[in-house]
Structure 1
């Protein structure tokens, strides 16, 4: 009987977490899980990167457009120790020689508590100095952590040509406890 009670309590906690988010959040969370599977399907070494990371955020659908001035935005799901802890918003603006539009997935992995804390405190920004690793079929991916952060991207659609300078800003929205 105690085992059944424990299972019931665990299911209730899990259900409350799922139902605490609105429909848009649930869609982003679902898309983030699919994006994680796509990263791993595209390159098997990504499974180890996700497993070894202290935390990560997945932006499953980032849209970017540019004509001299460019911008991008996306919503993502944030995980710490493999557990969903909140949502994130990303905005990017850049200026330079650029034209086009594209959609891509982005995964930001953290291997230090300090980097994750900066992200959670909305004191986190990716500048032009941080390079993202493009996830390709079968290529060996070495995570190049810089200040506790590694970034991976995977194109979905579009074409963009650019030589620009800018940065990405993030907002972390924790789930209510």
Structure 2
């Protein structure tokens, strides 16, 4: 079980603001989504086999409703290390409910939108979920969100 981190909401708010600055159009997702999960820092590294970990906060109705932990193991051609932010938007209550059941996994074919000005204009939900990422440091030859697994701990 994850311990509730009082600073987590502040880190999440700062991450959301960074996404807004990079692409103001992301506001339409923030306003329309039933809920969202914010991961202010995901650390990823790889030499052939890769791994990533991150801690996040889950919001619904404008309030933090829990915390989440993300892990990912990837295979294939990949090299390097990076840190990045990630927001997962849930279009409706059933999409968020699937995430909150725990052991949620992003399918191998899933893709994320790399945030830059205007990037969210053409973005849309896939199976009730939209994923956005923003690199904060490092260089990595590979950028998949497929295989990410999430836990959920209610607040």
TM-score when scaled to structure 1? 0.81
Q: For the residues of structure 1 that align with 2:120 and 2:77, how far apart are their CA atoms?
A: 31
Shift of the alpha carbon at 1:113? Answer: 1.6
Once the two structures are superposed, the pairs formed by residues 18-167 of structure 1 within 5 Å of their partners are 22=4, 25-139=5-119, 141-162=121-142, 167=147
Q: For the residues of structure 1 that align with 2:64 and 2:143, how far apart are their CA atoms?
A: 35
Structure 1 unaligned runs (5+)?
1-20
Structure 2 unaligned runs (5+)?
none
Q: For the residues of structure 2 that align with 1:102 and 1:166, how far apart are their CA atoms?
A: 16
Kindly name which structure, 1 or 2, has the bigger radius of gyration based on alpha carbons: 1
RMSD over aligned Cα atoms: 1.8
Q: Which residue of 2 aligns with 1:10?
A: none
Q: Which string of whole-angstrom CA distances, capped at 9 and with x for unpartnered residues, describes residues 112-145 of structure 1? A: 2221111110142112211100110344533321
Greater helix proportion: 1
TM-score when scaled to structure 2? 0.92
